Amino acid sequence: MPHHPSNSPGPGSGLHQRRVRRMLLVSSAITLLVSMGWALFFGWRGDWLIVASDLFLFLLAIHGGRLAQQGQLRRAALTLLLGLLLVVLGHTIYLDLPTAAAPRTTHLYLLPMAIFSIVVFRHDDPRLRQGLPLLFLMLFVLLSATQFGIPSSHAMSDSLRVPGSWITSITAIGTLLILLHLLQSDLAETSTQEVELREGLARAQFELFYQPQHDVKGRLVGAEALVRWRHPERGWVTPDEFIPLAERTGLILPLGQSVLEQACRQLAQWSRQPGRQGWSLAVNVSALQMQQASFVAMVLGLVEYHAVVPGRLKLELTEGVLLQEFDQVKAKMHELRAAGIAFAIDDFGTGYSSLQYLRHLPLEQLKIDKSFVADLGHQDRDSAIVGTVLMLGRGLGLQVIAEGVENVEQWQLLSELGCRLFQGHWFSAPLELVDFEAYAMAGCLPSDWAQPVAGGSALEEPAFAQANAG
C-alpha cells in the first residue's frame, strides 16, 4: 500500500484539495469585488466606519487568496471564514437593523459560509467539520427569526437598505449557487473516478513499486511495496490521488487484497532465487482491512498458497489503525504473529505513540517517520527523539528503520545514533520490479556512501540486522 495521505483541509485526495482551492479562490474573488464596490460607495457618502470594515474584507480576501495559491488551504479557509463572520455579525447587529420597510439581509451570507465550511473541513477535526457549519446555521436561524440588533448612529436608513437588500440578497444567493455548482461538478468528477477505479481493479492496472531497504553495511535486506496505478490515459498515478477515494468507497479492500497477493507472489519468486531468499517485503495495511472479519484467513491463505516464508512478509500499521478497535486489532495481530507474520508500526512518533502498543502488540519493527529524519542536525529535539526511539527499540529487541533518508548527512547522523536499517531517496526512489532487480544486481549504493567506522557498542550490528541480511 502507499504512503498515507496527509491531513490538510481536507486532507486527503488531490481532488479534494483542488476543490478546496477552487472554492477558496472563488470566495476570495467574490469577497474582493463586493468589499471594493461597497467601500467605494460608502466612501463617496463619507461613512468611513463602513469603509474601514470593507477595506478589512478587501485585505482579507487578498490574504486568503494568496494563502490558497501557496497551498496553505486550511489556514486560508479559517482566516477567510472567521474574518467574514466578524464583519457579517458586525454589519447585521449594528448596521442592518430590520424595519417594516426593509428586512435584514446581511445574515444571508451565513448560508454560503456554512456550505463552504462543510466542504472544506469535511475530513478535519470534528470541532471544525461539525462545529463551524452548525455555528453559521444557528446564527442564520437566530438572525432570521428575531429582530435582534443594537441601534447605533451608524445604522443604515431605509432609503439605503431597500436597494441594498436586493444587492445583498442577489450576491449572497449567487455565491451560494456558485459554491453548490462547484461542489456538484466535483461530485460528478468523484463518481467518474470511482468508476475508473473499479475498472482499474478489474483490469489489474494497480502494480507494485519497490523502495529498497538497506542495513548499516549497505546490504539490500528488502523493500517496501508501494502501489501505483497504471492509468491508460494519465500514466502512473500516485497513491495520494486514489487511496482516499478507495477508502471512502470501500474499494480499499479489493485493492489491499490485490497488493498483498502481488507481494506474496513476489516473495515466492525471490525465495527461489539465490541471494534473495532473505529479503523481506513490507506492505501497508489500512484500518478497513484490519476490520475485515476475514482478514486473518485471507493473509494466511495467500501465504500458504504462494508458499511464502511467513516472516518475510511484514505488515505495516499506522498508529491511526491501532486507535480503532484496539482489542480486535490486537487479537488479529497475535493470530497472524503466531503464524510467523511480522508487524511494524509505520510513522512511529507522529500519532499518539502510546507505549501500550509496544507492551501489548507482537511487533518486530518500528519505523521512524521521515519528518524526524528531515531535520536531523538542525533540530536538537528531533535528534533526541530519534535517539530515544532507537534506544527503546534496542531495549525491547525491536528493529528500528529510518525512512526518508535523503542525504549523506542524515545517513551519518542516524548511523552515529545507532540506527541499522534505512530507506529513502538517498538510496533509491520506489522502482518498478525490473528496475528494482537491476538495482539489486548492480549492488547500487549512493556515490557518497561510506560504511560508518565502528566505535563502540552503539555501532555494533544487532542480531536482528544480521538475520535480515539473508
List, for residues 107-155, the tens digit of each pLDDT value: 899 999 998 888 888 767 777 888 899 999 999 999 988 888 888 777 7
Out of 70-79, 245-254, 300-309, 383-392, the most confident range is 300-309
Compute the average pLDDT of residues 65-70: 82
pLDDT tens-digit readout, 402-443:
999 999 999 999 999 999 999 999 999 999 999 999 999 888
State if pTM tops 0.75. no
Instruction: Give how far Cα 434 sits from Cα of 73, 214, 239, 431, 441, Å.
Output: 39, 18, 20, 8, 11
- Asked if pLDDT for residue 468 goes beyond 60, the answer is no
pLDDT digits (tens, 9 = 90+) for 333-345: 999 999 999 999 8
Give Cβ neighbours of residue 341 (< 8 Å, ≥ 6 apart). 299, 300, 303, 310, 311, 313, 314, 315
Q: pLDDT: is 159 or 274 the higher one?
A: 274
Q: Mean pLDDT, to the nearest integer, of 292-305?
A: 94
User: Domain 206-468 belongs to what architecture?
Assistant: Alpha-Beta Barrel (3.20)
- Residues 444/214, Cβ–Cβ less than 8 Å: no
With b for 16 or more beta-carbon neighbours within 10 A and e for fewer, the 263-298 pattern comes to bbebbbebbeeeebebbbbbbbbbbbbbebeebbeb
What are residue 418's phi and psi, to 5 degrees? 105, 10
The grid coordinates of residue 213 equal 531497504
Between 3 and 451, the more confident residue is 451
Domain segments of the chain: what residues? 14-192, 206-468
pLDDT bin (cut points 50, 70, 90) of residue 455 is very low
